[in-house]
Each structure stands twice: as C-alpha cells, then as structure tokens.
Amino acid sequence: MAYLKPQRPEKVTAPSLRASKQRGERLVCLTAYDYPTARVVDEAGIDIILVGDSLGNVVLGYGNTIPVTVEEIVTHTRAVRRGVHRALLVADMPYGSYHTGADDAVRVALRLVKEGGAEAVKLEGGRKRAPLVKRLVDEEIAVMGHIGLTPQSVNKLGGYRVQGKTAETARSLIDDAHALEDAGAFAIVLEVMPREIAQIITEGISIPTIGIGAGMHCDVQVLVLHDMLGLTFDKTARFVRQYVNLRETMTDAISRFAEDVRTGAYPSEAESYGLPAEAAAELHIETANKEADIKKS
C-alpha cells in the first residue's frame, strides 16, 4: 500500500486510529514514562504514547515487567499526562492487576483513566482475555490488546522468544487477534512474531496492528523509547533500531561536569552571583562586580 502522510495535528483518539488504518496511514507509537520524555515525544509528533510496563525494565531497574505495580503505573501516567496534548495516551495494566476477576480489572482500568489521565488501557493476552476486554469496553474504557510475545508471561514462556513459528501457534495468534477485535479492542500490539503472520493479522482485521518485532506490514510501529535512544544497559533485541547513543552522550556530559568541578573551572563568575556594590560597601567587602552579575541577579 502506498505511503500516505498522516494528517496532523488533530488530536489522536481511539476511534481515529481505525480511520487512519482505512486511509492507509502509517502511524508511530513510543513509550514514555515521565513529563520531559512525554513532552519531547508528543512535540515530535508521535501519534500514540504508551506508559508501558517496560517501565520496570528501563526506568525502575527491575529486570522485567513482573514487579511493576498499579501505583507505579498511575504515578508515571499522571506525569506523562501533563506532557501530552496531541498523542493518544495509553497506560499498561500491570501483571496481577487484571488476573483476579473482571471487577478488579475494571477498578484498576478506571484508576488509570481517572487518576492517571490515560485515554485507553492495554492488557496482554488473546482469546482468554476477550470476555474481559468486552467487559471493559462495556464500561466505556478503550482497550488495546497485546498478543505474540507477552512479557508478563515470561515465567510461563521460559524466556523472550519469537512466537507463532509453527502453523498451530500461528493460527492461534490469528484467532486471538480476531477474538480481541470482536470483543471491542480498538488496536492490538503484535510483539515479536514472524512478519508473515503479522501481515495476515493486519490484513484480516479492521483495527490497527501495532508492531514491535513483527515486521513492516503492521499499521503502526512501536519501540521502547530508551531502546531507540540508546539509554539501556542490556543487549537489545534485533528489531531495535538505535537512533542515538544517549548513554554515551550523558556519560560524556556528566564526566565533563565532574572534571570542571574538580579543576575549579565550574562555576565561573558569570555562573554565580555577586554582592551589589551598595551592600558590599556597607559590609566593607571588596567586590569586583561584573556586568554578568548585574544581568543575572
């Protein structure tokens, strides 16, 4: 399908995503976890911002998404909310927050929307989550599905591996996608699966697919912000394209600051404040006030 430039800068909404898919637009999604990253991502024109539970990996240092709590997602979503104006803001439902019954899940989802300011929630799982997705949608909550490699199942899966590599598991993923669409999900994340299966899913459903490690046929592409900015410590997956090495850039800036402090090069007079002449005279203090002091005070 020919590439169509998305129409900006209208506010992105859950229903507008389906229309974008119909128009053949390629949209972009990134994660964000705090006010400055949210502002930068939104102002760069990214269409969907996800407060992902990848928070556990890239911000909180847990090593995986399992320990992430509802409180943490709410706090980070509130911060992100303040920085987002145009993008659709989606918050992840963390592990354990929708596994103990539909009423509990509704309560958590409502918190993410009411307290966090999210416009939609995301949860992992296919057919088995379809009744829950329907329930949430019935409660006026927009739901994004997530199938393929579902990191909250890491203990059950035994690691992070490409999903849907056999005909049987591929068919299962296709059935999952249809079940989520039928249940009322407005979009589905397809994580780490063969591009052929992502293509079949993308062409077979009318809601957008959001691919991460699922190839070029998905309607939307998503990456974890810290991965694409090079602000990570572990080896990244093959689908991550790193656009800058922020870890290196930050280390360089921090080292130069430390060097300047240690050698006395920081702060300079221009980076400090002088006593006004009148007060200096009264206190009998010798001062060499500079133009910079007056301007900066």
Where on the chain is the footprint of ligand KIV (CB under 6 A)? 31, 50, 52-54, 92, 189, 212, 222, 224
Question: 181 catalytic, yes or no?
Answer: no
CB of 100 to ligand KIV, least distance (A): 21
Residue (27 or 189) nearer to ligand KIV, CB: 189
CB of 78 to ligand KIV, least distance (A): 17
- Four-point Cα dihedral 66, 69, 72, 76, nearest 10: 60
CB of 212 to ligand KIV, least distance (A): 5
Q: Are 125 and 146 in contact (CB under 8 A)?
A: yes
Q: Which two tokens stand for residue 124?
A: 């992992």
Residue (99 or 275) nearer to ligand KIV, CB: 99
Residue (152 or 293) nearer to ligand KIV, CB: 152
Q: Which of 25, 119, 124, 191 is catalytic?
A: 191
CB of 287 to ligand KIV, least distance (A): 55
Strands (E), 168-237: 187-191, 209-212, 220-223
Q: Is 278 exposed, middle or buried (0-12, 13-18, 19+ CB in 10 A)?
A: exposed
Residue (145 or 184) nearer to ligand KIV, CB: 145
CA neighbor of 283 nearest in space, from 294, 274, 296, 292: 274
Q: How far is CA 61 from CA 56, 68, 167, in A?
A: 6, 10, 36
Give the count of beta carbons closer than 10 Å to the beta carbon of residue 104: 13
Which residue number is nearest to ligand KIV in terms of Cβ? 52
Positions marked catalytic = 191
